[in-house]
Amino acid sequence: MALQCGIVGLPNVGKSTLFNCLSNAKAQAANFPFCTIEPNIGVITVPDERMTKLAEFVLPQRIVPTTIEIVDIAGLVKGASKGEGLGNQFLGNIRATDAIIHVIRCFDNDNVIHVDGNVNPLRDKEIIDTELQLKDLDTVEKRLVKVSKQAKVGNDPLAKKEADLLQRLKETLESGKSARVVIPQNEDEKKLFADFQLLTTKPVLYLCNVDEQSVVTGNAYVDIIKEAVKNENAEVLIISAAIESDIAELESYEDKQAFLMDLGLTEPGVNKLIKSAYKLLNLITYFTAGVLEVRAWTITNGWKAPQAASVIHTDFEKGFIRAEVIKYQDFIQYKSENAVKEAGKMGIEGKEYLVQDGDIMHFRFNV
């Protein structure tokens, strides 16, 4: 699944520094490579310690992790919704992403100029929120004019439903709220939401960029952001771009771990960021494990076995017969597929099986 998160924020909040740290993720462990597709797009592996554990027992020829694309999007300025600065490019790039990582400056430093003169994370957040909301409002209003005519002239019940939903969205956006707070009432509305491609319906992770002293506990700026987003169903993550930059410059894994321990951290912030982005997209991982490879496969949480099989090959879904499923903890306990079978711990599942995060699966199919 080609999934993409866009890193957004005002100029000079640490977006590019974080992106550059992500570009060095390969230095953190051999299993976490990074390759550049374009100057501002990277394919980054999702850190998953379970793959290393599985490989210890399976001894495969290769390990293939799952990935997410991260895009460093141009800094936003006021008026972007009307094309100011790089507004059109910025908003177009966001529209192409599946989720938004919103970087907010939450540190004081006289040597780093703030585009608006002083540090105010709530104002910074609201600038970007407002520009996205204004762009969505423009989209909704134009569509509402067209659909309202169809609903009146053609007596189309679906057009009436769409017009009602657009009106709710219009009122929400005009009140200064993002479209994601409007909850689809049925399957028709869910499909319409996807069709609208509104910027503020995308899931968002607020990334508070703090100084070294605040990376473990946070600070007053972080508290302001947490309070502001408490009703948005969004996650807040604390990270220090300066620390991540220092970690990226260290060559050995041992040096990185020692540096992290001195700071009271258990893993690099970029690892947490990648995992949080994966979670933000409501994704889970299942594995296939054999002597040729141990491989991670990305699916949406809630998918059934045939859907999960389709990410390997569409024929797997078309000709699905059954899935042989081993729970990750059972594999670790018994140390091999044969031992799991002998213990009676392998499940034989049909088309209605909901795949769980960490399942080790083998599909039987016939086409």
More confident residue, 296 or 272: 296
- The whole-number pLDDT of residue 225 equals 96
Higher pLDDT, 153 or 293: 293
In this prediction, residue 77 carries a pLDDT of: 52
Closest CA to 221 of 301, 107, 111: 107
Higher-confidence residue: 220 or 19? 220
pLDDT class of 113 with cuts at 50, 70, 90:
low
Average pLDDT over residues 9-34: 62
CA 52 to chain centre: 23
* Mean pLDDT calculated for residue range 265-277: 86
Q: Is the pLDDT of residue 179 over 70?
A: yes
Predicted local distance difference test score (pLDDT) of residue 82: 58
pLDDT band with cut points at 50, 70 and 90 for residue 32: very low
Which of residues 295 and 251 earns the better pLDDT score? 295
Q: Are 326 and 337 in contact (CB under 8 A)?
A: yes
pLDDT band at 78 (very low <50, low <70, confident <90, very high): low
Out of 80-84, 107-111, 209-213, pick the least confident: 80-84
The pLDDT score that the predictor gives to residue 31 is: 32
DSSP 233: T
At 294-308, the pLDDT tens digits run: 999 999 999 999 999
Predicted pLDDT at 358: 97
Residue 314 has pLDDT above 80, yes or no: yes
pLDDT value of position 1: 57
Q: Which two tokens stand for residue 161?
A: 């439903």
On the question of pLDDT at 328 being above 90, the answer is yes
pLDDT of residue 80: 47
Using the predicted structure, report yes or no on whether residue 365 has a pLDDT greater than 90: yes
CA distance 77 to 272: 28
Are 267 and 247 in contact by the 8 Å Cβ rule? The answer is no
Task: Round to whole Å and give the CA distance between 285 and 297.
Answer: 5
Tell me the DSSP string of 9-50: -STTSSHHHHHHHHHTGGGT-TT--EEEEETTEEEEE---HH
Tell me the C-alpha distance between 112 and 13, whole Å: 9
pTM across the whole model: 0.80
If you search the block for the tokens 């990648």, which residue do you land on?
274
Complete DSSP assignment for 336-356: SHHHHHHTT--EEE-TT-B--
Mean per-residue pLDDT for 304-315? 96
Quote the Cα angle for 48-56-265, to 5°: 40
Measured CA distances, 224 to 14, 124, 219, 360 (Å): 19, 12, 9, 42
SS3 5: strand
What pLDDT score does 96 carry?
A: 81
Confidence of residue 197 (pLDDT cuts 50, 70, 90): confident
* 50: CB partners within 8 A, 6+ apart: 285, 287, 328, 358
User: With 70 as the cut, is the pLDDT of residue 25 above it?
Assistant: no
Question: Residue written as tokens 């550059």?
Answer: 20
pLDDT of 125: 93
The chain-wide mean pLDDT, for the chain, equals 86
Residue 275: per-residue pLDDT: 85
Q: How confident is the model at residue 2 (pLDDT cuts 50, 70, 90)?
A: low
- Amino acid 34: pLDDT: 38
71-96 mean pLDDT: 62
Contact in structure between 5 and 18 (CB atoms under 8 Å) = no
**44, 70 contact by CB (below 8 A):** yes
The answer to whether residue 30 scores a pLDDT higher than 80 is: no
pLDDT band at 76 (very low <50, low <70, confident <90, very high): low
Please list, residue by residue across 221-231, b when 16 or more beta carbons sit within 10 angstroms of its beta carbon and e when fewer do: bbebbeebbee
Q: Are 327 and 340 in contact (CB under 8 A)?
A: no
Cα 132 from Cα 81, distance rounded (Å): 7
Helix, strand and coil content of the chain, in percent to the nearest 5, comes to 45, 20, 35
Q: Considering only the C-alpha atoms of the chain, give the largest distance between any 2 of them, rounded to a whole number of Å.
A: 70
